[in-house]
Structure 1
Amino acid sequence: MLRPLQEAILARGDEACWFLEGNEVDPSFLKASERQLKTVSEVKAWAPDAVLVPGNVVPRFIPGVKVGVFHGFNAGKVNRRGRQDHFEIRDCFDLYCTQGPDTTLPFIELAKKFATFKVAETGWAMLDPMYKQGADNPYYIEGDKRPTVLFCSTFSRNLSCADTVYEQIKTMSCKGNWRWLVQFHPKMNLETVEKYKALQNENLTFIETDNVLPLLQSADVMLCDTSSVLLMFLLQGKPVVTFRNQEPCSHLLNVEKLEEIEPAIEKALSRPAELIAQIESYCEQIHPYRDGLSSERVLAAVDSMIDNGTADLKVKPANLIRHLKMRKKLGYWKLF
């Protein structure tokens, strides 16, 4: 998620280091060339000019401008306070780098209200490689001209369609007229994962990867439920068929019955002009940047904040409980 930013940082001659926190982050995914700072003391000694965070919080005691770069698009999730989680202000960030008008405008209003941070619309850096011609895609098969359908599903039992559509996908994959790729969220129920792995045949491949972008590039149509990965797929101008999506919209081909899935995929593969126009209109709102240069825009916004300082921002609320929790989690109690 942050590697496109790292690439842009290194390309201009600057340095980048990684600080990983939490059990869900696996340091083995770091490359030998990537430097990891393992303690807060190491981070403070390195003294970063900016801290780029794809999560919701960052400790105040870590130096540098705190920049929120988001770990996904606004999926409309409501937190326990009844507010949209994507727009929850946790008094941690100096700068939010937003993805497109539909998130920029609400954050601008919040910036006016709180006056403790700034907003820059940059696009989402994670998507930069999707818009660039890179190395050979590992999921292309030379000579196989069949349309490719990518099936993705969320891990939430209440929202996932993976078990419900299993038999339907099994039947469709056996026909051989399409090539199927299946990829799930890492938190997907293990029984469901094993069931789909066992389904693999000459027409269906189950993929486990920490980089979904090549998968998105290789498919012609996606079948999904409510997983936010469908937004990334749409940003290629490609159709998505959803099964019982909670918020069906004109840019999606949503179906409610199992027998409707196959005809919907066939329709999607025909790329109806009206549907493609709806997709384009939607993408202009969530992420209008297709140049693969969002990382550079993020760094330009960060440079501007560093150059101009934060003196014109209000002091953030102390929010002692949240910051004490972060100190406890990281085991760091030094004042300086």
Structure 2
Amino acid sequence: MYISQNYSYAILRPIQQYILSQGGEVRWFLEGDEVDPDYLSSKELRIAYIDDVISWSPDAVFVPGNVVPPFIPGVKVGVFHGFNSGKRDDVRGHFDIRGFFDLYCTQGPNTTEEFQKLATKHGFFKVVETGWSNLDPMYRVIESNPYVTQEDTRPTILFCSTFTPKLSCADTVFETVKSLSEKGNWRWLVQFHPKMESRIVEKYKGIQGPNLQFIETDNVIPLLRAADVMLCDTSSVLIMFLLLDRPVVTFRNRSPSEHLINITEVNDIEEAIRLALSKPDKTMSAIQEYGSQVHPYSDGLSSVRVVEATNNLIDQGISDLKRKPLNIFRKFKIRKKLGYWKF
């Protein structure tokens, strides 16, 4: 499990759980200083040095990111760090092919089709639609949720925002969120991308109280399940919330559509949330149609399909794939970041 961000733990743990249930072994490698080793449980095994990863010689490397050291043994499997939210143009965003992976495990028809076209074009990777492992726990019954309380029956609004400055609404809507939380009509949960500017994080931490809670976590699933409506911008987390058949109010979303209640002015936030809480028929129908294209799997078994696709690739081998691009500059950057110069 090759990770560089805290949110990657939740993406890969369902895969780990299935591998271990089948008698396999799992090790974690944490790249860089943006991933916190304290999120590892006492039973999860970490390999601290690349030399030791190579010596362990994994059969497969699972990566919720865009790059992976090619000198690590095993087939390289891309499992994505989020959905295609439209934050960037396709060529620079979700469909950016960096030339490191042997297999992409896609989330649903609207991404599988494009990746299959790219696989045909490039020839050095394969594509299997599996669903997204990160969502497996979302479809399972949980006994308790730390963000749900029987004593507080008010509607719960989850506010999430991307860290990308041009797309983030966190700073713009701060005063409105503060004002609405002070009214006390709704319970607010606030969670941001770990790369969010610290200045903005501290502003929201400063308005915590009986009606608003700021949460830092490596697992957003319990938050999603606790909320009735989400307020967001163009963060991919909104897609996860839509897959629960719950409405999202977006502020200046980059790709507004019928499955979103999109607004462009802060003065419209309260009215839009009230509309979302009413679950208008047209919006809910659009959400269901959108979900069937983005992620049609609600069985909680995407991680099983990922492992099965990986095992099939291992068994078949990759000799029928074309040679990957040289990627000299990107490979140099990886080695420099890791301080690894053995060949």
- TM-score, L = length of structure 2: 0.93
2-structure distance, mates of 1:332, 1:292:
38
Identity %: 61
2-structure distance, mates of 1:159, 1:173:
23
1:158-205, CA deviations, whole angstroms, 9 ceiling, x for partnerless residues? 222222222222222122221111111222222222222221221211
Task: State the match for 1:15 in structure 2.
Answer: 25
1-structure distance, mates of 2:99, 2:161:
33
CA displacement at 1:210 relative to structure 2: 1.5
Task: State the match for 1:176 in structure 2.
Answer: 184
1-structure distance, mates of 2:166, 2:299:
37
SS at match of 1:314: coil
SS at match of 1:126: helix
SS at match of 1:87: coil
My pick for the range that moved more, 110-119 or 177-186, is 177-186
My pick for the range that moved more, 315-324 or 175-184, is 315-324
2-structure distance, mates of 1:127, 1:311:
32
Report matched runs for 1:299-314 at 5 Å: 299-314=307-322
**One of 130, 134, 137 as aligned partner of 1:122:** 130
Task: State the match for 2:5 in structure 1.
Answer: none
1-structure distance, mates of 2:172, 2:109:
35
1-structure distance, mates of 2:195, 2:337:
22
1-structure distance, mates of 2:256, 2:87:
15
SS at match of 2:30: coil
**One of 245, 250, 274 as aligned partner of 1:242:** 250
Residue 91, structure 1, aligned to residue 105, structure 2: no
CA change 1:94–1:185 in 2 (3 A) is same
1:242-284, CA deviations, whole angstroms, 9 ceiling, x for partnerless residues? 1121221110001112221111111111111111110111111
CA displacement at 1:22 relative to structure 2: 1.6
My pick for the range that moved more, 322-331 or 297-306, is 322-331
Give the aligned residue type for 2:59: D
2-structure distance, mates of 1:108, 1:267:
39
CA change 1:197–1:101 in 2 (3 A) is same
Residues 19, 25 of structure 2: 8 Å contact kept: yes
CA displacement at 1:320 relative to structure 2: 2.5
CA change 1:317–1:201 in 2 (3 A) is closer
For these two proteins, the number of residue pairs brought into alignment is 333
Runs of 4+ with deviation above 4 angstroms:
none
My pick for the range that moved more, 313-322 or 104-113, is 313-322
1:217-255, CA deviations, whole angstroms, 9 ceiling, x for partnerless residues? 000000111111111111111000011212211100011
My pick for the range that moved more, 177-186 or 114-123, is 177-186
2-structure distance, mates of 1:283, 1:221:
16
Task: State the match for 1:65 in structure 2.
Answer: 75
Q: Unaligned 5+ residue runs, structure 1? A: none
Residues 86, 234 of structure 2: 8 Å contact kept: no
